[in-house]
Structures are given as C-alpha cells and as structure tokens.
Structure 1
Amino acid sequence: MIRVEGLRKVYGDFAAVQGSSFAVEPGEIFGVVGPNGAGKTTTLKSVAGLLEPTDGTVRVAGRPADDPGTRTALGFLPEESPLYEDMTARSYLRFFADLYDVPRDVADGRIESALDDLELDHRDRRLGDVSKGMKRKVAIARSLVNDPDVLVYDEPASGLDPLTTNYVLEFVRELAGSGKTVLFSAHNLHHVESICDRVAILNEGVIVARGTVESIRAEYGETTYRVFTTVPVEGSGPDGDRHVVRVGSMDAVESVRERAAAAGGEVADIRTLESTLEEIFLDVAGRPTPGSRRVTPDSEAARPVEAERPALGVEE
C-alpha cells in the first residue's frame, strides 16, 4: 500500500531525508524511529502528500502521494493536531466528512462507530472543554471519517497518560487487524517494540537499520546470560542466597558451571537477556552516518525549496 523509493528531501542546503526506501503492506504497522531531527516527520509528511520529494518516488495505494485522489485513501494524524475548540466532537467530524464529500448518512454512521470504538464520551461538549486525551481521540476519529486504507500516524499517543496511551495503541493495532496499512512514529520505543511489525531506524536522514524487531535485534543487538550459582565464582555478586554473574556466550556459561562445580557448588539457574529496541537504537543512532546532510550549490541534489502543501484535516 505504501511504496517509498529513494526518497530525498532537501531544504536549501540541508538534506532532511537522504535516499530512504521502504514498503508497507496492508494490515502491517511499520514504525519509523530516530532521534530529534532524524527526518521522521519529513518522511511521514512526504507519504501523506504534504511535502513534495526533492528526489525519489512515494506511492500510496497505487497512486503518487501528491495525487488528489490519494487523499481519499489516506488518513493523517500529525504530532500536533489543534482542533476547532468551539465545535463539538460530532460537529467537528461532520465538518471534515463534508470536506471529503462523505454523504451525511454515511458520515454519521461512520462517526458514531469511530467514537464508540474510541470510547469517547461528551460528544456534544465543546472541544475546548475536554481533556487532551479526548482531543487526541477526536483527532484519530478525524483520520477515519473518509474510511482510508492507509493511516499515517505521527506520535499518536503524544502527551497522553499511560491508560489513554495503552488504549490508543490497542486501537491502532485493531485498525491494522482490520486490514489497514499503518505508518507509525513514536519516541517511546517500548510502544514501537510492542505494536510494530517492522521498524526503520533513521539517523541524520538515513535509514541505518530496518526489519522486524527480532531481525534488528539479531543483527545489531547482543544476547547475554545471567548465571546463578550456589557458590561464589570469579566475577559474581550476591543475589539473595545465591550468586550471579553475567556472561556473553554459552561457552562462558559452561566455564561458570565448571568453576562452580570445582568450588563444590552448581549452577542453579540461567536467564537469557536480549537487547531491547531502545538499547539497539541508542547504539545504532550513536554511530557516525556516512556522508553529510549539507548540500553544496553545485550538488545535483540542490533544488529550490518546495512549499509545504495544505491537507485536509490539518489545522495551523
């Protein structure tokens, strides 16, 4: 549903994104993560048709991302999503349904269904008088009024309390389960690890790692072992009535076993520890990235800066 090939976005002499390529299939949640300034939001806005690539192609549901027809197949949720606070949730969503030319009877049913699914109360209260969590739910419902096949969500749980965050993430998972394609960005890597089928790590505008969390962990992470013994061995420390030492291979585990036996004890337990996505991210994002993001006037990548395109459902 989403095909990105060689995406490059240049602002003046600065390359925000440098040659990114990835694809997202129906029913899949694809996470884009990276430090601040890595190019995540530029990537998501390019897929949403809000930014014109300097180079490369972006296709959504078989059409160019900037094709007017693409907007009927796409729902976009920016990280910051101010609402019209004098409107109620119902009137606000009907307004955007009208912008998408959704028939009123269809829109009303779709709006009520989305609000039911999101468990959103106070549907006729001014949006200026509801909580941040409720506003975020309304913004998510707004992304669904046109019943899009593709959803681009930039920090959907931004600033929410843990309970609302878990609810929103579960809702995103249900959307993918219904067959929708989801491109997802979040700073909280635990959320990404728990919800995304595949992940791309961006650093300085370049995708430096990509794949399932398991494949990224296998390539970039490390596996260590906590070995618990009944007697102290070299390098171990106390752990209740036992002793524990951390080693990096099964050969080292066997060495601990032999040392424990020599001291008249034994290995009581072995626990495997794998790198978390956050640990891998800190390692990979901290490595130097080839090339420079600065574009010289003589470079073929230097292009005039394109203006950001307006889009339905985004207020300034």
Structure 2
Amino acid sequence: MISVQRLEKRYGGVTAVDGVSFDVGAGEVFGLVGPNGAGKTSTLKMLCGLVEPSAGDITVNGFDAGDTAMRRTLGFLPEESPLYDEMTPRSYLRFFADLYDVDRATANERIEAALDRLDLDARDRPVGDFSKGMTRKVAIARSLVNDPDVLVYDEPASGLDPLTTNTVIEFTRELAADGKTIVFSAHDLHHVESVCDRVAIMRDGQFAATGTLADIRDEHGEVSYRVFTDVDVDDARPSNGRYVTTVDSMADVDAIRAAAADAGGGVVDIRTDESTLEDVFLDVTGA
C-alpha cells in the first residue's frame, strides 16, 4: 500500500533525507523513529504529499504522493493538531467529512463508530473545554472520517496519561487488524515496540537499522543469560540464598550447569535479558 524508493529531501545545502527506501503492506504497522533532526518529519510530510521530494518515488495506494487524489485515501495525524475550540466533536468531524464529500448518513456512522472505539462520550461539548487526551481522540477520529486505507500517525500518544495512551495504542492495533496500512512515529520507544510490526531507525537522513524487532535485536542488540544455581560456581555472586552468574551464550550456560553438577547441585533458574528497542536506538544513533 506504500512504496518508497530512493527518497531524498534537500533544503539548500542540507540533506534531510538521503536515499531511504521501504514498503508497508496492508494490515502492517511500520515504525519510524530517530533523534531530532534525523529526517523523520520530512519523510512523513513527503509521504502525505505536504512536502515535495528532491528525488525518489513515493506511491500510496497506487497514487503518486503528489497527486491530490491520493489524499482521499490517506489519514494524517500530525504531532501538533489544534482543533476549532468552539466546535463540538460531532460538528467538527462532520465538517471534515463534508470536505471529503462523505454523505451525511455515512459520516454520522463513521463518526459515532470512531468515538465509540476511542471511548469519547462528550460529543456535544466544545472541544475547547477538553483535556489533551480528549482532543487527541477527536483528532484521531478526524483521520478516519474519509475511511482511508493508509494512516500516518506522528506522536499519536504524546503527553497523554497512561489510560488514554493505552486506548490509543489498542486502537492502532485494531486499525491494523482491520487492514489499514499504518506508519507510526513516536519518541516513546515503548509505544513503538508495543504496536509496530517493523521499525526503521533513522540517523542523519538514512536508515541505520530496519526490520522486525527480532531482526533488529539480532543484528544490533545483545543477549545475556542470568543462570541461578543452588551451589557456588566460578564467577557467581550470592543472590537471595542462591548464586547467579551472567553469561553471553548457551555454551556458557551448559558449562555452568556442568560445574554446578560437579559441585553437587544444579541450575534452578535461567533468565534471558535482551536489548530493548531503546537500547538498540541509543547504540545505532550514538545518542
């Protein structure tokens, strides 16, 4: 549903995006992360047809990203999304449905369904009275009034309380399960890790790492094992009446198992510690 090939964006003598390529399929959530200035925002804006690429090709649902017809198949949630304070959620969303030429009956059905799924009950109060979490829910609903096949969400849960954040993350998963193609960008890497099928980490306008979370961890992360024994072995340290040794391979685990048996004991627990996405992010970006 999204195809990006050799995408570049230059601002004068500064290259913000430098030859990135990726595809995102239906029902997939693709995470785009990176430090400030890495090129994320420029990439997202080019995807949405808001910024013209300096080079490369973008197609969204078979349309060139610069084609105005493409925007009818896309829903965009920017990081900052001010609403019309004097309007209610229903009137605000109907206004945007009219811009997409959605008939009133269909618009009303979509609006109520989206607000139901987002647990927003206050539908006839001015949005100027809403909390940040409530306004964010309205903005997410706005991205769906045209029933787009592709969604681009930039920091959808930024600054929200844990309960509202969980609602937004779960809703994103539901949209993917419905077959939507989603590009998801966030600074909170736990959100990315919990919802994305694949992730690209940007650095200096390029992809420093890309793939499934498992692929990225395999290539850039580290795995260690904490082996707990009921007898003391070499390099072990006491731990709540047991002994724990940290090693980097299963061969080392087997060696500890043998050493414990020789000492008249055994292994009572093994715990695996893997790099988180944040660990990998810090490593590959040098942050």
TM-score (norm 1): 0.88
Partner of 2:246: 246
Aligned to 1:275: 275
- Give the match for residue 115 of structure 1: 115
Q: CA deviation at 1:105?
A: 2.0
Unpaired segments ≥5 residues, structure 2: none
Q: Partner amino acid for 1:223?
A: V
Match of 1:164 in 2: 164
Higher relative contact order (CA 8 A, sep 6+): 1
Structure 2 letter corresponding to 1:258: A
Question: Equivalents in 1 of 2:285, 2:252: separation in Å?
Answer: 29
Partner Cα distance (2:153, 2:8) in 1: 20
Match of 1:70 in 2: 70
The aligned counterpart of 1:295 is none
CA distance, structure 1, for counterparts of residue 65 and residue 55 of structure 2: 13
Q: Which residue of 1 aligns with 2:229?
A: 229
The one-letter amino acid paired with 1:182 is I
> By how many angstroms is 1:235 displaced?
2.3
Q: Residues of 1 paired with 2:179 and 2:250: CA distance?
A: 42
Q: Deviations over 1:125-163 (max 9, x none)?
A: 111101111100000000001110100000110110111
Residue type of the alignment partner of 2:35: P
Residue type of the alignment partner of 1:252: D
Partner SS for 1:187: coil
Q: C-alpha displacement at 1:276, in angstroms?
A: 1.4
Gaps of 5+ in 1: 288-316
Distance in 1 (CA, whole Å) between partners of 2:117 and 2:61 is: 25
Supply the AA of the counterpart residue of 1:201. I
Secondary structure in 2 aligned to 1:27? Answer: coil
Alignment of 1:159-308 (within 5 A): 159-286=159-286
Quote the offset at 1:73 in angstroms.
0.1
Q: TM-score, normalised by structure 2?
A: 0.96
| 1:34 counterpart residue number | 34
Q: Match for 2:165: what amino acid?
A: T
What's the counterpart of residue 82 of structure 1?
A: 82
1:35-83 deviation digits (Å, cap 9, x = unpaired): 1211111111110111100111111000111101001000000011111
| Structure 2 counterpart of 1:3 | 3
Partners of 1:278 and 1:53 lie apart in 2 by 30
**How far off its partner does 1:262 sit?**
4.0
Cα distance per residue 1:178-207 (max 9 Å; x no partner): 111001001111111111111111111110
CA distance in 1, matches of 2:106, 2:121: 21
Alignment length (residue pairs): 287
Residues 83-127 of structure 1: CA distance to partner in whole angstroms, max 9, x if unpaired?
A: 111111111111111111112222122111111121111111111
Aligned to 1:17: 17
More displaced stretch, 161-170 vs 218-227: 218-227
Distance 2:29 2:270 in 1: 34
Q: Distance between the aligned counterparts of 1:36 and 1:242, measured in 2?
A: 45
Q: Counterpart in 2 of 1:291?
A: none
Local SS of the residue matching 1:80: coil
More divergent stretch after superposition (121-130 vs 273-282): 273-282
Over aligned residues, Cα RMSD in angstroms? Answer: 1.3
**Aligned-partner SS, 2:270:** strand
